[in-house]
Amino acid sequence: MDATIIEIGTQPPAALLELANSVRKLAATMIRIDSNESELRRVQAEVEVLNERLETIARKGSDPRLLSSIEPGENDMRPYYPASAATWHCNPIFPPLDVEVEGNIVRGTLNLDLAYEGPPGCIHGGVVALIFDQLLGHANGANGTYGMTADLKVSYHRPTPLFRDLSFEAQVKHVDSRKITTEGAILLDGAPTASAVGLFIDPAFETSPLLPHISDDQVDQLLAHRELRNLSDDES
């Protein structure tokens, strides 16, 4: 069955991705500083000025615009950037991932710095779990089987190092009605440092609080896709 891609959210401006990269570099540099309080206070004052500048162009509303066709309107609704592993790093908290989709398999690379350190020289285990949650969700989208995380089991086989070129892969393994099982691994030199199995639940859009932000035709597409998938499962 062909995957039905439902486009929710808007794409971040290229300049926002570049700005996020600069903020991550700032965070990684800060972690290497252990003296010179006077210079730190001067830099902090400059950062506050930049925050104030950005606030002048930021949307003021708290409600998200879940479709690109929705205008900010009188409530100045903020953009919602889709949970895509290819662009999630528009939020500087998230690590950048170089992602490719081959059929229904997500593959790619990452190389993380000190901003993501846990044990000395290694990526924090919580960051590894965060990356898996995002990668498995991206694989779900590539397969046309969207879902919310219900359970995520991460196995840590050995430390995942910083400053090394790592690869990853993720793939949907089984779909049972609204339940989606997806697996993935992070690898160093071809051997896994960590692996994960996630259970995702296709949300009940009929009763979802997201409905006010999603057009009727988008909801119809999601429901029709679920029905087609259920029929495909019954025939297999």
* Cα 106 to Cα 169: distance, rounded to the nearest angstrom: 5
* Cα 120 to Cα 129: distance, rounded to the nearest angstrom: 18
Non-local CB neighbours of 82 within 8 Å, separated by 6+ positions: 7, 8, 9, 10, 11
Each domain of the chain, given as residue ranges in start order, spans 7-82, 87-202
- The two tokens of residue 220 are 């119809």
Predicted pLDDT at 23: 96
Q: Let me know the angle formed at the C-alpha of 161 by 30 and 21, rounded to the nearest 5 degrees.
A: 40
The bridge status of strand 191-201 relative to strand 179-188 is antiparallel
Task: Tell me the whole-structure pTM to 2 decimals.
Answer: 0.83
Q: What is the pLDDT of residues 127-161, one digit of tens each?
A: 999 999 999 999 998 888 888 899 999 999 999 99
Query: In the chain, which residues have pLDDT < 50?
Result: 1-5, 231, 233, 236
Instruction: Please give the CATH number for the structural domain made up of 87-202.
Output: 3.10.129.10
61 forms bridges with which residues in the sheet?
Answer: none
Predicted pLDDT at 4: 42
Helix (H) or strand (E) holding 200: strand 191-201
Contact 170, 30 (CB under 8 A): no
- In one-letter notation, the amino acid at residue 2 is D
Predicted pLDDT at 2: 41
Predicted pLDDT at 104: 86
* Cα 133 to Cα 228: distance, rounded to the nearest angstrom: 26
3-state SS record for 30-70: HCCCCCCHHHHHHHHHHHHHHHHHHHCCCCCCCCEECECCC
Spell out a b/e string for 126-158, using b for 16 or more CB atoms within 10 Å of the CB, else e.
Answer: ebbbbbbbbbbbbbbbbbbbbbebeebebeeee
